Amino acid sequence: MKQKLIWVILALATAVQATTLDTGASFPQALKPVLQEAQAAHLAADLLSRGHYKPIPLDDALSTKIFDKYLKSLDPEKLYFLQTDIDRLGVDRTLLDDAIRNEDLSVPFEIYNLYIHRAAQHLAYARTLLQKGFDFQRDESYQIDRKNQPWPTAETQVQDLWRKRVKNDWLRLKLAGKDDPSIIRILDKRYDNARKRLSRITSEDAFQTFMNAYTMAIEPHTNYMGPRAAENFGIAMRLSLVGIGAVLTEMDEYTTIRELVPGGPASASGQLKVGDRIVGVAQGEVGAMEDVLGARLDDTVALIRGTADSTVRLDVLPAEAGPDGSHKIVTLIRKAISMQDQAAKAKVYSVTEGNTMRRVGVITLPSFYEDFNARQHGGEDYKSVSHDVASLLADLKKQKVDGVLVDLRNNAGGSLRQAVELTGLFVGKGPVVQERNANGDINVETNIRTGIAWDGPLGVLINRASASASEIFAAAVQDYGRGLIMGELSFGKGTVQTMASLDQVAKSAKSEYGELKMTIAQFFRVNGGTTQLRGVTPDIAFPVFVDAADFGESSFDNALPWINIKAANYAPVGDLTDQVPILLALHENRVRHDKGFQYLLEDIVQAQQLRKKNMMSLNEADRRRERDAQGKRLAAREGGAGQGAARATGSALQDDGLQVDERNLTKELAAEKTRKSAKDVLLNEAVNILGDEVSLQTNNFKLAAHITSTSPVMVMELAPHN
């Protein structure tokens, strides 16, 4: 079971931001916009004023909204700017529209440079505290979330905020067993590395931050992507790239190999392994070696990527070597790499009920991906979620599964066309979703390509992070009566975006202006409703992890409203109305006796209490009591043969006070593996519910309608089949 909810909040909510300078308070050179960025802003403004679903004039009113969004994106926790800064910057509150139209970005860059300056000041002060130490017997608290607090009015207030922030970092390490010299070394190195990262911020970073403040001031899902961000978006959609087949991470200024993709050039060479550090990259057989020690990770990745069948040479410091150890040169031929770990996957689970065993196939979809270019060029075997799922369904049918569960948790969407075609695999040909453009014209998106690949019992598992295309699919399955929707209320994103290349608009042959992801329509369910704001309501609701006010469409102050339109011409293919109450009773009865599920409810309650309290003690004795109580709760949850596994999981999830790049890579990967292998309570229960549905449809639950909350629990054991 995933016992990490509380720890995640403790670890992430209190981590020091990766933007600090050394105690000498040296500042990076002021950033300046380049000509292409100013031109890109103007091009984007023209497109947004003409083509957006919710066109808003670029005037002083919008400029004010951009200003507020910009400050919020730079300093969301109000830890850098002073109120005097806000007052001074506020003079330019209505000038950002002029900056965009006149292609003069000096004002937004002035704001960004002040942010860097303030971050340097305040974080440099934080670093000086390391030599002074802290009194952990004092009764004081650290506020976890400051986004709703006022801006500090004096430098002394900011210093006190940072004193508590650093004190909390120190206390986390102390509670994890580190001594004071080790803590000073870790935090000093952390802040120094953060200083170096701050100094590597580019004008493209500043421009993209400003442009997204502009686009999101219009509507939450309109975004600007610089050339590199646009390239990465394309990679994510087609799940392929050309490179060496290595997952890289930054650790202590080194670009470090975190994972080797099976079958990729790096793995096949036999010359590289996890933990090796890349300190130089050269192009071709004779190109000059470029030093990448201390370089930005994305810059190093850009050097390693290239065209298929081209040569790249790497200067590698082996994992076991010290900083002054011997290097080796590794020559590789770049190849197309398929990102299979992010593609659809399937696993079969068995559900035992008495003497009967049901087999449920679980298909996990991380996103609705599609290789747009390959499809446009007429290929039939291009990478897409509908193609992959069709193949998985064919295999599951060979394994004689009784039901199929589609897991869409944390699936933020992707291709609308893929949502339509995926729906067709379960519903067949017919309307799937309706689109209304800015003129009010309605188009019904109909599946005509895919036939039914699975006509048996179907379930869909969603959570609050299931959005957009995920909601289209889940809503269509629900409206057609085709399957059971389980989980949390979904995100509530009911808008359609398109990618617009600013390079094409400018008729530029080079990639220099970036792309605009722009909302052009709103989508509606075939029954005429919309998922906008309200999301998809599950037939069987699971515990809610996050507050809708903090995450989801309803958390945006400028989201489009909920409306409905006329239903499309469609005919339901099933009706689960009579089954839902029975399945709900079985579910409630089972989870009442399921320790794992009850533990999860306890964790959720505790997390909600922590969020509501929004304070963390900085008194060591208090924190140790809290830590010990949490440890006892975890230890008490498992007994007998399962106790060792519980301890291993608890150890992997225990807060060690470190950031990701500070941990031993081998131990970090092992802990990650443990976390991934932890029992997934919600998935298991969804499989159980689908097993119930199979039994209902095969008339094996003759007395199911009479089940009450006092009935004996029906025990169902789950076992995955590899």
For 672-692, what is the mean pLDDT? 92
Contact 365, 400 (CB under 8 A): no
Q: Based on the fold, state whether residues 42 and 122 are members of the same structural domain.
A: yes
Q: Based on the fold, state whether residues 394 and 311 are members of the same structural domain.
A: no
Asked if the structure places residue 425 within a domain, the reply is yes
Q: Based on the fold, state whether residues 119 and 250 are members of the same structural domain.
A: no
The residue segments making up the domain with residue 270 are: 240-338
Asked if the structure places residue 552 within a domain, the reply is yes
Asked if the structure places residue 596 within a domain, the reply is no
Helix (H, G, I), strand (E, B) or coil at 11: helix
Q: Based on the fold, state whether residues 326 and 395 are members of the same structural domain.
A: no
Q: Based on the fold, state whether residues 35 and 182 are members of the same structural domain.
A: yes
Q: Based on the fold, state whether residues 333 and 345 are members of the same structural domain.
A: no
- Any idea which residue has 């995100």 for tokens? 491
Give CA–CA dist 38/35, Å, rounded: 5
- pLDDT at 203 exceeding the cut of 80: yes
Q: Based on the fold, state whether residues 102 and 193 are members of the same structural domain.
A: yes
For residue 192, give both structure tokens: 């120094």
Asked if the structure places residue 603 within a domain, the reply is no
Helix (H) and strand (E) counts for the chain?
Answer: 23, 22
Where among 552, 574, 596 does a domain terminate?
574
493 given a catalytic annotation: yes
Q: What pLDDT is attached to residue 372?
A: 87
479 given a catalytic annotation: yes
Dihedrals phi, psi of 170, to nearest 5 degrees = -65, -45
Indicate the pLDDT class of residue 711, thresholds 50, 70 and 90: very low
Q: What is the CATH number of the domain that holds 268?
A: 2.30.42.10
Asked if the structure places residue 616 within a domain, the reply is no
**Of 466, 468, 490, 554, which one is the catalytic site residue?**
468
Give CA–CA dist 143/671, Å, rounded: 29
For 463-486, what is the mean pLDDT? 98
**Count of structural domains within the chain:** 3
Q: Based on the fold, state whether residues 252 and 302 are members of the same structural domain.
A: yes
- If we measure between CA atoms, which residue out of 238, 175, 158 comes closest to residue 7? 175
β-bridge mates for residue 462, sequence order: 487
Give the largest Cα separation in the chain, rounded: 78
Q: Based on the fold, state whether residues 114 and 181 are members of the same structural domain.
A: yes
Report the C-alpha dihedral over residues 466, 472, 477, 480, rounded to 10 degrees.
150
Q: Based on the fold, state whether residues 288 and 371 are members of the same structural domain.
A: no
| CA triple 167-170-171, angle to 5 deg | 85
User: Could you give the C-alpha distances from 140 to 135, 137, 178, 332, 618, in angstroms and in order?
Assistant: 10, 9, 22, 56, 6
Q: What is the CATH number of the domain that holds 487?
A: 3.90.226.10
Range picked from 121-125, 257-261, 715-719 for highest mean pLDDT: 257-261
H-run or E-run covering 673? helix 665-677
Asked if the structure places residue 366 within a domain, the reply is yes
Q: Based on the fold, state whether residues 279 and 206 are members of the same structural domain.
A: no
Contact 522, 496 (CB under 8 A): yes
| CA triple 191-192-193, angle to 5 deg | 90
The number of residues making up the chain comes to 722
For 57-63, what is the mean pLDDT? 97
For 660-677, what is the mean pLDDT? 88
Give CA–CA dist 394/401, Å, rounded: 11
**Of 493, 539, 594, 655, which one is the catalytic site residue?**
493
Where among 294, 313, 338 does a domain terminate?
338
Asked if the structure places residue 207 within a domain, the reply is yes
**Of 75, 402, 479, 539, which one is the catalytic site residue?**
479
Q: What pLDDT is attached to residue 717?
A: 35
Give CA–CA dist 147/507, Å, rounded: 42
Give CA–CA dist 471/667, Å, rounded: 37
Where among 574, 601, 619 does a domain terminate?
574
DSSP string, 356-394: EEEEEEEEE-S-B-B-HHHHHTT-SS--BHHHHHHHHHH
Q: Based on the fold, state whether residues 456 and 317 are members of the same structural domain.
A: no
Cα of 457 vs its chain's centroid, Å: 30
Asked if the structure places residue 504 within a domain, the reply is yes
Q: Per-residue pLDDT tens for 323-371?
A: 899 999 999 999 999 998 899 999 999 998 778 899 999 999 999 999 9
